[in-house]
Structure formats: C-alpha cells, structure tokens
Amino acid sequence: MAMSMSNYRSETFFIMLLLTSSIGFGALGSPVDSSITTSSLPSASEPIVRVEPANHTASVGSTFSVNVTISDVVDLYGLDIRLGWGPTVLSYVSKSVRIPVEDRPGGVLHKPVVPIKDTVDRTAGTYQVAYASLAPASSFNGSGTVVTITFKVLVEGECELYFLSTSLVDKAAALITHSVQEGYFYWPGKGRVPTADFTYSPDPAVINKTATFNAGASNDPDGAGIAKYIWDFGDGTKQNTTTPTTTHIYNQSGLGPWAFTARLSVVDNEGSQSRLKEKAVNAVHPRPVAKFTITPKNYAVLNKAVTFNGTDSYDPDPAGGITLYMWDFGDGTKQNTTTPTTTHVYALSDTYNPSLIVIDIESLQSARETVPFDVVTIAGDAEGDGDVDVYDLNDFGRAFGSIPQSPNWNGRCDFNDDSTVNDLDLDLLVPNYGKTV
C-alpha cells in the first residue's frame, strides 16, 4: 500500500533539521504537521520509501533479509526512518546501514555524515535510523538502500513490516514530500494480521492515580480472535494481558506535566501480530479543589460588604500550591486574586450564584465551585421585593424554629445569620415592618 507521508514530529527529526540549518543551508520553517494521509498511488516524480521485497515467507527457525530503500529522491540531505515488525513472529538478527554512499556503494547520502539514531528495540519490534549530511557534502540524488535488516522466524504467524514514521530533508532543511510502500511477512494458510487500538481514561491521566487502558477497539479481521495484548506504558513498565482492559499508575514526583508514549500490539489465536499502535499519554498531578465560604453565610443586605473566603481550597499535590483565585460574584462582576479572601458589594437584591475556580502552580485548573446566595434590600425582607410586609412575616412564621437541616428552613429568614430562625431574628424584622426601600 502506498501512503503519502507528511512529516513526523520527533526529537530526532528536529535535531536533523537543526544540523542542516545550523551550517548555513536554511532555517526552521513552520511547525511540522504530524498527520499521515493515504493516497492510492504516488505521483510519477514523488520519492518512495520502501520495504523490499514487499512480501516474504520463510520456515520457522530460518532467516531472511529486507532492504529499506529510497527511490527517485532529489536533494536529499537527511533522513529519519522508523521501521516496525511483530516481535512475537520475527526476531531481529542484524542490520547493515548503507550510509554514506562513498563507503557503501548502492547506499544513500554523501559524506561527511553524522549519525543521529541507529537504535533497535527488540522487545517492541522497532528500528530507527537517522543520519544527516554535513557541509561540504553534496546532496544525494537518485535511488539507494538505507539499511538491510535480517530477521529470524519464530512462529507460524504473520506480521507487517511497516513504517511508524519517515522524514526526508533537503539541503535547505525543508521536508521532502514522499510516499511509502510497506512489507508483509506471511505464512501460507494464515489469515490477516489483527489491528491494535486503545483508549485511556481519564485524559489526561493523573499522576499516582489509576488510569484505565481499554483495547476493546482492537480487531482481528479474519475472526480468529485476539489471544494477547502487549502493553508498553511508556514509563518503563510493560505488561501482557489476555483481556483488553488493564490499569496502570504513572508514579512521578516533582512538577509536571509529563508526556508518555503508550504502545499496544496484539497477537491473534493464529500467532499473527499487529503493528504497534502508539498514543501520547499526557499526565498531570491531581487538579486543585475550589472551596469557599460567604459571610454573612445565608443572605446579605443590599449595599453591604460580603466577605468571600477561599481558604478551604486546596491542592492535593504535596509539591504544588494555589497561585490564583478566580472569583465570579454572579452579578456580572469578576475578580482574580492571589490571596484567598476578598469582599464584594451587591447593588441589587436577588438570588446570586457566586463561584470560584482556583489555579495551581502547574497551571492546573479546578472545577468551578458555586454557592447560591441571597441579597435582600433590608433586614426582614424575606421575599426580597424591597419591603417588609405581611408576606415576609408569613415566610418567617413558616421557618420559625428551623435550622439548615430542617425541612422548613429558609435562610432568608435568618436575619442575624446564626443558622437558627428564632426570636432574635424576629427582633430584627419587627422594627422594619412596613418599611419600603
């Protein structure tokens, strides 16, 4: 299958760009687009990165070799290629890099060259090769072999010989558009290889808390069924399971956030193995928690200062701390403070929903905490309609003797804010009876 490859964002790739740009052949351009789009056929003039030969079969215990090649390239000055295979089906034996072409006829890139990556991960089943030419090297034009890799067949099974990423760079440090054609190791009578896919939650993962990984979206197209899930969580922890769901805890200390690359490969009941599925897992400390109190706590009188206290807010991360309190007083007024306490005066009587969000030292944001709150025009105005009349007295009578846990509790009738509706509140209502504001 031919796929039009755009550019892979990686540390190695940026090193390669920096090397080419730092010696006078260009500068870094716009951010790299890490997407991959599929095309049916490459254009006639488009370079192709291939696995050759494309199809292989061999008996268990025997070895075979494949070449990773580049064809019809113009102005090549650097490359970064990651190849993958099924490590339960094939075992890496050896490799021979054919760079530079002056020392390895039939290879690619002119010398002098600098090796950036030449790394095999036998467990994951991956190989990365990255090289760049240096001045006064000429650009490479034409076709050649990048590397020859030899494998040993472990079981009667199938797997793909696939590219996780490919990047080609020209002398001006610009990316070269190209296509790829991948390979396949097959076993007569076996079905197609399975596909691996997974999700994780929560997203982002929380440091020192359980994250759930679910590979239920993995699939075996020939119906043989998936027998094994091979997990690599990206922090040095690996795990094999026979069920699609597992959990993992990312244990870290210090300030975050962190980024891990989780990988999954699956093996079906016929012994065939999928290609790796990689996903970035972002991990953060637990988010801070916003809590606040209001004084007076049940209601406020119009044009009187109300105190908001966020001291009960906290950051569960021992190394963290709250740096910002974001207040919304519910009347259209907002205020940010670096200390937990502030005041506000309401100009209109109403029921408000003031809220607080806190931000911690890692810029993590809490959920919004909201506390409903009444503002009245005058003590005794339980209805909040601007006067103290029989309707307020009626509300007071129904709430008399209540506390916040009582079914007849009405905070608007607790005029002295002591969490009890009693004679003391009546003493405040009576002098204002009949008054209008």
Q: Return d(Cα 353, Cα 339) in angstroms, integer.
A: 21
> Which CATH number does the domain housing residue 370 bear?
2.60.40.10
Q: Return d(Cα 185, Cα 90) in angstroms, integer.
A: 9
Asked if 29 and 174 sit in the same domain, the reply is yes
In a domain, 141, yes or no: yes
pLDDT, one tens digit per residue, over 129-162 is 999 999 999 999 999 999 999 999 999 999 999 9
| CB-CB contact of 365 with 371 (8 Å) | no
Q: What is the residue range of 257's domain?
A: 199-284
Residue 13 confidence class, pLDDT cut points 50, 70, 90: low
Evaluate if residue 181 carries a pLDDT over 80: yes
Asked if 313 and 400 sit in the same domain, the reply is yes
Report the candidate in 46, 339, 333, 264 with the shortest Cα–Cα distance to residue 166. Answer: 46
pLDDT, one tens digit per residue, over 250-275 is 998 777 788 999 999 999 999 999 99
Asked if 26 and 48 sit in the same domain, the reply is yes
Exposure string over 278-312, b if 16+ CB within 10 A, otherwise e? bbebebbbebbbbbbebebbbbbbbeeebebbbee
Asked if 311 and 280 sit in the same domain, the reply is no
Asked if 276 and 335 sit in the same domain, the reply is no
Report the candidate in 359, 188, 227 with the shortest Cα–Cα distance to residue 288. Answer: 359
In a domain, 193, yes or no: no
Looking at residue 253, what is its pLDDT?
Answer: 73
Looking at residue 93, what is its pLDDT?
Answer: 97
> Which CATH number does the domain housing residue 68 bear?
2.60.40.680
In a domain, 194, yes or no: no
Structure tokens at 346: 């309401």
Q: Which of these three, 284, 313, 348, is where a domain ends?
A: 284
Q: Residues, the chain, total?
A: 437
Beta bridge partners of 180: 3, 49
In a domain, 437, yes or no: no
| Burial (0-12, 13-18, 19+ Cβ within 10 Å), 109 | buried
Give SS3 for 106: coil
Asked if 210 and 176 sit in the same domain, the reply is no
pLDDT, one tens digit per residue, over 354-390 is 999 999 988 889 999 999 888 877 778 888 777 888 8
Q: Where is pLDDT greater, at 130 or 396? A: 130
Strand pairing of 140-153 and 63-84? antiparallel
| Count of structural domains, the chain | 3
Looking at residue 16, what is its pLDDT?
Answer: 58
| CB-CB contact of 19 with 132 (8 Å) | yes
Evaluate if residue 108 carries a pLDDT over 90: yes
